[in-house]
Chain A
Amino acid sequence: MASLAETTPSAEALDAFRLEAREWIAANFPPSLKGVDLSRSALEAPSDKSPDREAWRIAMGDKGWGTPTWPTRYGGGGLSAEEARVLQQELARAGASNPIGGMGVMMFGPTLLEFGSEEQKMAHIPAICRAEVRWCQGYSEPNAGSDLANLQCFAEDKGDHYIVNGQKTWTSGGQWADKCFALVRTDKSKKQGGISFLLIDMHAPGVEVKPIKMISGLSPFCETFFTNVQVPKTDRVGDEGQGWTIGKRLLQHERTNISGGNRMGGGVSLSELAKACVGTDAEGRIADGELRARVARLEMDGRAFAATAMRVAQEGGVSVASSILKINGTKLMQERSELLIDILGMQGLGWEGEGFTDEQIEAVRVWLFGKATTIYGGSTEIQTNIVAKRILGMPDMG
C-alpha cells in the first residue's frame, strides 16, 4: 500500500520542471506529429524514417526523455518517477507521443540494467535510449509456448563463443529487428536450470526470418530460424543456467507494459461516441440503457485499474503483481475494443475501402490485434496460475 509519508519532490520543484518540459516540447516537437501514436509503430511496423519522425526521435534520444527514469550515465533522462509522470502529462498535453519505444525500452533495457555487466550496459543501453537499435524477443518455440521452459533451441559451447541452432516462433518484429534477446538451452540435462540468456545479432549469418500473417491482415511477427549462428560468450547476460531467472524478470516488465498500466487513459471517449451513435434520452443519457451501463462499468473499472497500476508502481517496481495487472489490463483493453465496435454497429466492422473512415478501419485492426494481448507475454491462464501459486500459495496437484 502506498505510504502517505513517502518523500516526493517539492511541489515548487515539480512546477518548475513542468515549465521546463513544456517549453522544451514546444521547441522540439514537430507539430505534424500531433496526435500520431508512435509507440505502436515501434512494434508493429518497419521503422518510419520520415524527417519529422527522425527529428523528434533524435531530440528525445539526445535529451534522454524517451527513457526518462533510466540513469543518465547510459543515456537515460535520470528523472524521478514524479518528474517522469509530469513529463508524460506534458507530452500528452502537446499531443506528442514518445518516439523511443519497442521491446528494447519496454522489457530488455530494464532487465539488462538489472542483470547486465557494465560493458553490456554501455554497449546496448545508449542505443536503446536513442532508438537506434531495434530488439526482438526470441523466447517462444513451436513446442514451448506456455511451457516456455521446454525450449529446445540449443547453444553449443565452443570456448569463447556458442553455436546456436534451433527455431523460435511468433517473434514480434523479427523481420525489422537488429538484435534479439533469446532464451536458449545450454544444458540438456536440466529444464529451467539449463537455460541461458543470449543476445543474438539478427543480421548474423545463419539467421532467417519468415513473416507470419495475422488475423488483422498484418504480418508483424515471424518464425525465426537459427542455423549455426555464432554468438560470442560476451553476449550472454548473467551466468550460464541463469537464463530462466533473468528471462522471467523480463516477462514481468513485459506484462506490466502489456497491461497498459504505464499508459494514461486516452483514445476516444466511449460515452461521447455512444451518445453520437445511439442518441440520448430527454435527460441526456445514452438512449440504450444496457449500453450506458456497459460504458459506465468499463470507465469505472478503468479507473480502479489505473489506481491499481499506480499502487503497484509505488510499492516498488515490477513483481508478481505484474500478473494481476496483465490479467486485468488486457481484459479491459479487449472489452473496450469490443464495446467500441459494438457502439459503431456495422460501421465499426469495415475492413477496407469506401464507406469507412481511417479511424474506423483502424479500430477494427486494433480490435483484432488486441486478441493477442491475453495470449502473449504469458497468457491470462498462465498469469492466473502464477497468482494462485505464487501469491495465494495454492499448491500444485500431486
Chain B
Amino acid sequence: MAKLSDEQEMLRDMAQNWVRGESPVGAWRKQRDADTAAGYDQAVYAEMASMGWTGITIAESYGGSDFGWMSLGLVVEECAKTLTASPLIACAIAARAIALGGSAEQQQKYLPAIASGELVATLAVDEGPRHDPTQIATSVTDGKLTGTKAFVAEGDSAGLFVVAAKDGLYLVEDGAGVTKSRRHMVDHRSHAEVRFDGAAADKLTGGGDALLDRILDHARILTAAEMLGMSQQAFDQTLEYLKQRVQFDRILASFQALQHRMADLFGDIEMTRSAVEAGLGALDSMGDNGDLGQIAAIAKARANDSLHRMSREMIQLHGGIGMTDEFDAGFYLKRARPLEAAWGNSSFLRDRFARLGSY
C-alpha cells in the first residue's frame, strides 16, 4: 500500500465505511435485478457527489477538490469491492479531457456540472468491439459530427460525450443528432451504442496531438484501480471461505495445495497493486506532460491478468456454491471481462508497451 497522507487515509476510511454500510454487494444485486439501461442508481451517485467524490480530480476553481488521482483511486477501489455501480470513472476521465484540452469557456461550462454530479460525461472512442484508437472513422464537418461509437461506458445516461473524431476530440451534448441504443451486456452495466448524425460538436483544441493517448492512459489506470478493488475483494472473500468450509474433517485452508494457490494469488495481486499505485502516482506527479504510456500499460495489463485469474479462482475455490446466482462470485466474473476488454486487453497493452519501448 502506498504511503498515504492523513487526508487520504480519512478519505479511504470514509469510502470503506460508506461502501460497507450503504452499498454492499446486495445493493448491486438489487440494481442488477432492476435491469435499467443506465445500470446504476441515480440517488446513489448523488450521494457520492454529496461526499465530494465526483470532484476529486477537478480543480477547486471549478467546484472540485483537486485532491488528486491517488485519492480518487482509493475511492474507486473501495467502491469496486462491492461492485458499486456509478459513472464516477467515466466522468473523471471526461473531465480530465476537458481540463487538458478545453478552452476556459468549455471548462467553465462543463466542469462545475461534472464536479457537482449533475452532469454525466463520458469518453466515446472505439467504433468496434475491440479497443483500437487508430481505427476512427468519425468525422466533423462545419461543427457537425457524424459517426457511430460502440460500447460506450455509461453511454445510456451520459449528457455529454467526449468524442474521438479523425482530427481530435470533440464535445457533443446529448440531444439532436444523438441516438443511444442499449447493449445489454453480461455485467448489466451501461455500454451503449451511440450514433451521432450531424450532432453539434465543439472541438477540444488544447492538449496537443497526444491528448487522446493521454486521456486513454488515464482511463486505463483508473479502470485498473477498479479491477484491483475487485481482485482484492474476490481474494479476501475466497480466503475467508477456505478458512470456514470443512471437507475431509478439516478446513479447506489447511490443504497445502490451496495454501500455495492462495499465497501465489496474493503475491500476484500485490504486484498489481504496486503497478496500479504507480499509475495513480504518476497521474499526480507528472502533471500535464510526462510519459504515462508504459506505466498505464503495466497497470492495466496486470490488473487484467490478476482479475481474470482471481475471478475464475473465486468460483473454482467456492465449488458448487460459486456457480449459483445467489452467491456473489458470478458478479465479479461477469464484470471482469468487459473491464478486461475496455481500453485495451492485455495483448493490446503488451504490444503498446513494447512499441513505446521501441521493440
Contacts and interface: CB of A to CB of B under 8 A. Distances in A.
A288 interface: yes
Interface stretch (A77-85, A103-111, A225-233, A345-353): A345-353
B10 interface: no
Interface in A32-89: none
B129 A215 contact: no
Interface residues of A, number: 48
Contact of A353 (B184, B248, B325, B351): B184
Interface string B182-209: 1111111001010000000000000000
Interface string A117-147: 0000000000000000000000010010111
B131 A215 contact: no
Contacts of B346: 290
Interface string A138-167: 001001011100100000000000000000
A346 B130 contact: yes
B130 A169 contact: no
Interface stretch (A194-202, A299-307, A368-376): A368-376
Interface string B314-336: 01100110111110011001100
Q: Which of B131, B151, B183 counts the most chain A CB atoms within 10 A?
A: B183
B247 A384 contact: no
B63 interface: no
A195 B146 CA distance: 70
A334 B312 CA distance: 10
Given A214-B324, A215-B333, A350 B316 contact: no
Contact of A150 (B183, B184, B247): B247
A169 B320 contact: yes
Interface residues of B, number: 47
A351 B186 contact: yes
Contacts of A217: 325
B90 to A, nearest CB: 15
A25 interface: no
B84 to A, nearest CB: 20
Interface string A374-394: 111001110011000000000
A258 B246 CA distance: 26
Interface string A313-355: 0000000000000000000001000100110111111111111
Nearest to B183: A355
Contacts of A170: 320
Nearest to A353: B184
A289 B324 CA distance: 36
Contact of A345 (B128, B183, B184, B351): B128
A368 B184 CA distance: 16
B341 to A, nearest CB: 5
Contact of B345 (A213, A342, A384): A342
B329 to A, nearest CB: 8
Given A147-B248, A374-B316, A384-B257, A350 B183 contact: yes
A222 B348 CA distance: 42
Contact of A344 (B129, B248, B325, B350): B129
B188 A346 contact: no
Contacts of B340: 342
Nearest to B187: A349
A355 B333 CA distance: 22
A368 B183 CA distance: 19
A182 interface: no
A346 B188 CA distance: 13
A145 B150 CA distance: 44
A346 B186 contact: no
A312 B224 CA distance: 44
Nearest to A344: B129
B61 interface: no
A215 B258 contact: no
A312 B151 CA distance: 46
B325 A346 contact: no
A180 interface: no
A352 B351 contact: no
Q: Which 7 residue pairs of A and B lie closest in terms of their CB atoms, listed nearest first? A: A215-B330, A345-B129, A347-B129, A290-B347, A345-B130, A147-B247, A213-B325
18 contacts: A143-B246, A150-B247, A212-B324, A215-B333, A277-B129, A334-B312, A338-B308, A342-B345, A346-B129, A346-B191, A346-B338, A347-B129, A348-B129, A349-B187, A350-B185, A355-B183, A371-B315, A372-B320
Interface of B: 128-131, 150-151, 181-188, 191, 193, 246-249, 257-258, 308, 312, 315-316, 319-320, 322-326, 329-330, 333-334, 337-338, 340-341, 345-348, 350-351
